[in-house]
Amino acid sequence: MEVKGEEWPYNEGCLSIPKIREDILRKESITLKFFDENFVSNTQTFSGLSGRVILHEYDHIEGKLFIDHLPLLKRKLMKGKLNDISKGKIDVDYKMLFPG
């Protein structure tokens, strides 16, 4: 995977962290080498929103959430909201599992 270009902000959110959105800086394009369903090697570059979505989902594979890209102070300011979400103190229109 090669990520390149200038960083540009976009107001991201995630079903894992409902009702929280923040401007996140990400590089403008990503080039992936992958095997398709027939095991044929491919290289493809994605940019714009599709590149951003790939980077967002790849972060999940790496154990990261979009809020991990925020400055520490901003994360501390939203700690109360994050604690409420982790305790299930949030109303969403989809099924969520909470710890404990």
Give catalytic status of residue 57 as yes or no: yes
What is the DSSP annotation of the chain?
-EEEEEEEEEEEEETTEEEEEEEEEEEEEEEEEEE-TT--EEEEEEEHHHHHHHHHHHHHHTT--GGGGS-HHHHHHTHHHHHHHHTT----SS------
Residue 100 pLDDT greater than 70, yes or no: no
**Domains along the chain?**
2-86 (3.90.45.10)
Residue 99 pLDDT greater than 80, yes or no: no
Q: Render pLDDT for 55-92 as a digit per residue (tens, 0 to 9).
A: 999 999 999 999 999 999 999 999 999 999 988 899 99
Catalytic annotation, pick one of 12, 22, 57, 62:
57
What pLDDT sits at residue 75?
Answer: 93
